[in-house]
Structure 1
Amino acid sequence: MKHFTLPLIACLALSACSTFDPYTGEEKATNTAKGAGIGAGVAAVVAYIANKDEDDIGKRNRRILQAATGGAAIGGGIGYYMDTQEAELRKQLRGSGVSVERDGDNINLIMPGNITFSSSKANIEQNFYSVLDSVVLVLKEFDKTLIVVAGHTDSSGSDALNQRLSVQRAQSVSGYLGAAGILNDRIESIGFGETQPVANNSTEAGKELNRRVEITLLPVTQ
């Protein structure tokens, strides 16, 4: 039985993924990829999902599709479905500070620390609500995707503290999406602590980039 179309190889080369620059409108390799490589967060999410029980995944997929518009799997048009969703996300998030990254049939939204959470906090910043509301609009329209919300931290503090904080941040965003009307079956939240940096933790600018939330959208096929 097929479930998700999930590439198991990360986009570790700069040419492997395209990223939208919300400030210039250009499509280019992301600057935040220094150190860990583009798609490191996506690869970790894919590995996490791949390790889940297949029967549980299948049952959840069926619940998602039953609740989705039309009630049928995407079928052979996965690429087009994700292309259209990506274009709408780029439109909604232009100028928001969120990067839209494409990795195969998966879409990753990278939300850096300067727009999401204060340092050492898991409460959503007030100006981040409008960004999440824009994401919700697209998620409701394209309802045949699994949404994995991943929290990340910089290297300040202990491993245990950072792991707990990353989980709390992911849960804060997941809770907001659910409260906004997104089907709970579609939402997974996970914390990676400080293990998936995208920038150098030796600088304040790098730490701000590493303090982030990523929302990865994976197509549900059946």
Structure 2
Amino acid sequence: MKTRIALLAATTGVFALGACADINGQPRQINKTEQGAIAGAVVGGLIGAGKNKETAVKGALLGTAIGAIGGSMLDQQEKALKQQITNPNIQIVNRGNYLSVIMPESALFATDSAAVGAAGQNDLYTIGRNLTQYPNSTIQVIGHTDSTGSQAYNQDLSERRARSVAGILTAAGVAQGRLATVGRGAAQPVASNDTVAGRAQNRRVEINIYPTK
């Protein structure tokens, strides 16, 4: 049974990847829509394989469709966000199955503060309007700090900053039920805390957008 499941997953993935060539048959980099379709096909096939062959095929096909829709939506939303946000310090990263909007401390807060400045509020209202235009998603707001100070202080600051950002998104029209907040303190650095530049990168808020259909 495990062998058949693995074979189905592999076959589904290969089939989807096989379509990702240009008109001359040469390989090319797949886009996020295609990545979503492949992931959906594999997951759908794995679920269906636990039942019977027909169900497995249906699951793979359904998974392909759902994955492609999700990937296409992320591509569209990513493009819109990049057009709408003019602050060059804000990063928009398409992770394949979700979007991540990465806002450095300097775009939002004064040092050791959880109060969002005027420019940061404008950017968050822009993001909020985008989120209302693409309502089929849930949003996780994650606060991060550098390692300066105590662990307890950093944890509290990261939580307060995440809540402040989520509050502004709610004020911009995003349904509160779509939002969740979490603080990571200094636990998930993206750069070395041994340098000024590295600590600046670590002080950030990430707005992660997960499509629901």
Q: Which TM-score band (shorter chain)?
A: 0.5 to 0.7
Shift of 1:146: 0.5
Matched, 1:81 2:93: no
1:96, 1:131 within 8 Å by CA — same for their partners in 2? no
Counterpart of 2:123 in structure 1 is 131
Tell me if the contact between 2:143 and 2:185 (Cα under 8 Å) persists in the aligned partners. Answer: yes
Matched residue, 1:90: 82
Whichever residue aligns with residue 129 of structure 2, its letter is L
1:145 and 2:137 equivalent? yes
Aligned mates of 1:181, 1:104 — CA distance in 2: 26
1:114 match: secondary structure: helix
Kindly provide the CA deviation profile for residues 121-178 of structure 1, in whole angstroms up to 9, marking residues without a partner as x: 1111221111111111210100001010000000001001100100000000011111
- Give the aligned partner of residue 186 of structure 2: 194
| 2:94 partner amino acid | R
State the match for 1:10 in structure 2.
none
Q: How does 1:135-214 map to 2 (within 5 A)?
A: 135-214=127-206
* Identity level (%): 37
Classify the secondary structure of the residue corresponding to 1:155.
Answer: coil
Q: Between the two structures, name the one with larger relative contact order (CA 8 Å, sep ≥ 6).
A: 1
Aligned match of 1:104 in 80, 96, 100?
96
Root-mean-square deviation (Å) = 1.4
Q: Which runs of 5+ in 2 are unaligned?
A: 1-64
Gaps of at least 5 residues in structure 1 are 1-73
Count of equivalent residues: 148
Whose Rg is larger? 2
Structure having the higher helix fraction is 2
Structure 1 stretches of 4+ moved >6 Å: none
8 Å contact from structure 2 (residues 129, 173) kept in 1: no
Indicate conservation of the 8 Å contact 2:101/2:208, yes or no: yes
